[in-house]
Amino acid sequence: QRVHVLPQTVLYIADAETFSGHEECHEQKKARKRNSKETAIALEKLLPKRCQVLGLVTPGIVVTPMGSSSNQPQEIEEGEAGFALLFPKIDGVKIHTFHFSKDSKNRVFDESKFAEAGLKNNPDLRVVLLFGYNSWKSGATRFLHQIVNPLNEKSIILAGGQVESFTSLTSENNNAQPSDACGVVGLAFSGPQIQSATVLLDQDVADEKTAEAAMQRLKAANIPEHNTIGFMFACVGRGYRYYKTKRNMEADAFRKFFPNVPLFGFFGHGEIGCDRIVTGNFVLRECNDIKDDLLHGYTTVMTLIHLGSTK
């Protein structure tokens, strides 16, 4: 007897070349360029109608190939690549998508929208993955600050980065956003059993030794490693060029300390995160009234999300 587990939430990420590749056009007997909306529709037809979907397009991909979780994660900075994470219903865990778009008429963001999205007045909120899009637009950085700053609390993990675009149609009632709009999309993870930690690899981390030292800090958080996912959000300015042609440096360092935790993520245009460890309601680091600086460039953010014990 087969048991099928249907996804309730899907995060898929692909590089721009993959997402707008060529397809055969039989009527014209030649290949034509697909647009991202066509690709998104085709992908989402494969998923249950009630499934929440968030799709991102990025300059590069970090992925652990299918099969064993102990497979070696790969930093794919060039060439076509992509992945999809399918989250089923998990007891004690709620995962939901959200989207905030910049309103050209209002300079100040309406923070009541945070509560509507489950990002405020939610005592079980543990992790928020944030992705800014169209960061080149005027006012995009200021808008990102308006989203990140109110969420910058010691009791939750914030991590993510700037992507090229988002392609999910389900979060927008099948209405694609204007190509020149900018905003923030993301996933929120709520549940008392969730544990998480992040470390920031700043510009001083430029060789194998310092990269591994950052992973040791992440390991010291003692986040359970079963039923756990790793995320890597890196700047396009890092990777093998930054490490003087040595490829896969940071993914290899992660695997050395977390050999059974799959790693996913992307290379983007800016990073969101800091050194922070949250286990339940206990914050394992010295806290003060100074807000952490969460927006960076030329850095990498490594994040662990533990979804609780499996029965």
Q: How confident is the model at residue 104 (pLDDT cuts 50, 70, 90)?
A: confident
Model's pTM, two decimal places? 0.88
Instruction: Determine the average pLDDT of the residues in 2-19.
Output: 82
Which residues, at least 6 apart from 251, have a Cβ–Cβ distance to it below 8 Å? 62, 72, 73, 74, 75, 232, 263
Q: What per-residue confidence (pLDDT) applies to 258? A: 96
pLDDT tens profile 200-227 = 999 999 999 999 999 999 999 999 999 9
Tell me the C-alpha to C-alpha distance, in Å, between residue 225 and each of 72, 109, 134, 193. 16, 38, 34, 13
pLDDT recorded at residue 279: 67
What is the rounded CA–CA span in Å between residue 276 and residue 221? 9
| Helical axes 208-219 vs 249-257, angle rounded to 10° | 40
**3-class state of residue 42 by DSSP:** helix
At 5, phi and psi to the nearest 5? -105, 115
Task: Tell me what percent of the residues of the chain surpass a pLDDT of 90.
Answer: 55
For 62-73, the pLDDT digits (tens) are 999 976 667 899
* Res 67: pLDDT: 66
Q: Quote the mean pLDDT of the chain.
A: 84
- For residue 64, the 8-state DSSP code is P
List the end-to-end C-alpha distance of the chain, in Å, as a whole number.
20
State how far the Cα of 103 lies from the Cα of 110, in Å rounded to an integer.
10
